[in-house]
Amino acid sequence: METKISKYREQIVELVRRMQDVRAIGLVMFGIVVLLMTWSGIKVIGTNYTLQKQIAEMQQQNSVQSLSNTNMKLSNEYYQTDQYLEIMARQNFGMAAPGETVLAVPKTVALSYTVDKPDAEATAKKETEAKQPAYQRNFQAWINFLFHRQ
């Protein structure tokens, strides 16, 4: 038993003696510096990636806002045209250009020739189904088939 302990003790003493060597200390310090520089580089890359994402997002928001401003400017220009004033006069006041006659069509007659808009619920259901992954739509189709659902 004492021989094992003494062997371990000798190995530890030998290890400590080797670690006191200047070359070993220099290697350990060099390893630590390399690890710190690598860690710093990784942190810088992560920060740059995050900042690039933020820049891209802000540029996208900027372009959307610029398109919105352009659209608003064009709308304002349209509202100042004679064409818009004429349309609003016809629509709101029942006015007509010289030589034209205004025909009043009853609402029930006008609506009898219109096409009904699609049901909002059915449209929303189709949109949500289109957003589902293929495997989920397939699973739902099988459930509908097995339980005789439409």
**Every domain of the chain and the residues it spans:** 2-104, 115-150
Buried b (16+ CB within 10 A) or exposed e, 109-120: eeeeeeeeeeee
Give residue-wise pLDDT tens across range 30-56: 999 999 999 999 999 999 999 999 999
- The per-residue pLDDT for 3 is 80
Angle at 73 between CA 68 and CA 77, to 5 degrees: 145
- The per-residue pLDDT for 59 is 96
The string of DSSP letters for 18-75 reads: HHTSHHHHHHHHHHHHHHHHHHHHHHHHHHHHHHHHHHHHHHHHHHHHHHHHHHHHHH
Angle at 94 between CA 98 and CA 86, to 5 degrees: 60
pTM above 0.75, yes or no: no
- The per-residue pLDDT for 16 is 80
Q: Are 96 and 90 in contact, with CB atoms under 8 Å apart?
A: yes
- The per-residue pLDDT for 114 is 83
- The per-residue pLDDT for 1 is 56
Q: Which residues of the chain have pLDDT under 50?
A: none
